[in-house]
Structure 1
Amino acid sequence: MNIRFAALAALALPASLWAQEPSPGTQRGMEPGTAAETVDVVLETTMGDIVIALETERAPITAGNFLRYVDEDRFDGTVFYRAMRLDWGDQPNGLVQAGTQNDPERILGPIAHEPTTQTGLTHSRGALSMAMGEPGTATGDFSIQLQDNPGMDADPASSDPVWQNGYAVFGFVTDGMDVVEAIHAAPVDPDKGIGWMKGQMLAEPVEIVEAKRLE
């Protein structure tokens, strides 16, 4: 599968998996009253700012990779280019996707996979997750969830190696979900995209003007 458009094969998931009841919080396995270490980052886009808490303690490899892209200005000038829409429930659902799109001057090497069974994180509303073709191939593309979609978490019972490992959650939007929703609602081009992703590409991608740590 073309990693440039970063697999995230959500449309192949049965609706029952997406609809399963998520945990009440965004993380699992933490003692009450405790908080894991995070680092705040802001994505300044042409549609507004998105503030993210990166899970540097729970998902150190994945969050550290994203932070390196931020610190080295590799996201500056990239775009949100995809809006995958799921027609389930009474709220807009699916994801938006952004990143380096395999630009050889921007991407770093692939990173080791951190499944949600290891990190205790889950694909809840506002979760950031790495795009990949298969576990261990993630580089510089990521998605943001519009609603709780725990079907993208690791499922050890699955016979499919992708869904057995799931996608790697590494952070959560703490401010700017209205911007994420506006990007998701933007017009798509019915002719853009490859394979089952055709019709999911934004007609006018939304630029990430700057990504930086939030002091």
Structure 2
Amino acid sequence: MIRALALLLSAFLSIMPVAAQTPGDVRVALDTGAGRIVVAVHADKAPVTAANFLKYVDQKRFDGIVFYRGVGAADYGFVQGGAQNDPKRILPPIKHEPTSLTGLVHDDGALSMARYAPGSATGDFFIVLGKMPGMDAHPEAAGDNQGFAVFAHVVEGLDVVKAILSQPKSPTKGEGVMKGQILETPVKIITARRVP
């Protein structure tokens, strides 16, 4: 009897549309001065952070912003872009969703929110090249151990991200840890739009 029910349920699920089974990812295209980057936003795994990013996209708050920071070289490091605290662009800070909660990690192509203290993220994000487990949450560690909030992954255009990372950095721009990490010529995000 149990086996018959399992077979019946399996047959029913196989004819249901995939979207009915899981909310799935939302694709967003970032058309930049260096080329197109398409990302899969994990709305089901990181609902708060994904909704925040999509709000910036839907309200066209990312149109005209830039990737302004590059840390690392070749295919290991990250590039950062966003609203840069522009009062006309930023939305209120969001609740922090650590990787220990979402199950997402800072691996190749991950998008994550830039922040100061947990709960301070607004409209700046970064794209990781390579694996950076040190950016994940580490609840066993002392101090601010919450890491950064991964919410999406690049599905097309990782070569564009690598090209942005390879841009020359200014030796004088930036303050504190960012000194020497600011791109000499920022790369503009022309538009950010949902795509099928």
Question: Shared fold by TM > 0.5?
Answer: yes
Pair 1:80-2:63 in alignment: no
Classify 1:36/1:153 alpha carbon distance in 2 versus 1 (closer, same or farther; 3 Å): farther
Select which of 146, 156, 162 maps to 2:139.
156
Where does residue 195 of structure 1 map in the other structure? 176
Matches of 1:103 and 1:117 in 2, distance apart?
Answer: 30
Q: How far has the Cα of 1:35 moved from its partner?
A: 7.1
TM-score (norm 1): 0.80
Matches of 1:206 and 1:160 in 2, distance apart?
Answer: 34
Matches of 1:141 and 1:135 in 2, distance apart?
Answer: 14
Percent identity between matched residues is: 53
Q: How far has the Cα of 1:151 moved from its partner?
A: 1.2
The residue identity in structure 2 corresponding to 1:51 is V
3-state secondary structure, aligned to 2:38 = strand
Pairing of 1:105-120 with structure 2 (within 5 A): 105-120=88-103
Q: How far has the Cα of 1:92 moved from its partner?
A: 3.0
Corresponding pairs, count: 176
Q: Who wins on radius of gyration, i.e. which is larger?
A: 2
Where does residue 43 of structure 2 map in the other structure? 56
Pair 1:65-2:49 in alignment: no
Pair 1:209-2:196 in alignment: no
Matches of 2:88 and 2:32 in 1, distance apart?
Answer: 21
Runs of 4+ in 1 over 3 A off after TM superposition: none
Q: CA RMSD in A?
A: 1.3
Matches of 1:49 and 1:165 in 2, distance apart?
Answer: 31
Q: How far has the Cα of 1:36 moved from its partner?
A: 6.5
Q: Which runs of 5 or more residues in structure 2 are unaligned?
A: 1-20
Matches of 2:79 and 2:22 in 1, distance apart?
Answer: 27
3-state secondary structure, aligned to 2:86 = coil
3-state secondary structure, aligned to 2:183 = strand
Q: Deviations over 1:48-85 (max 9, x none)?
A: 00000001000000000000000000000000000011
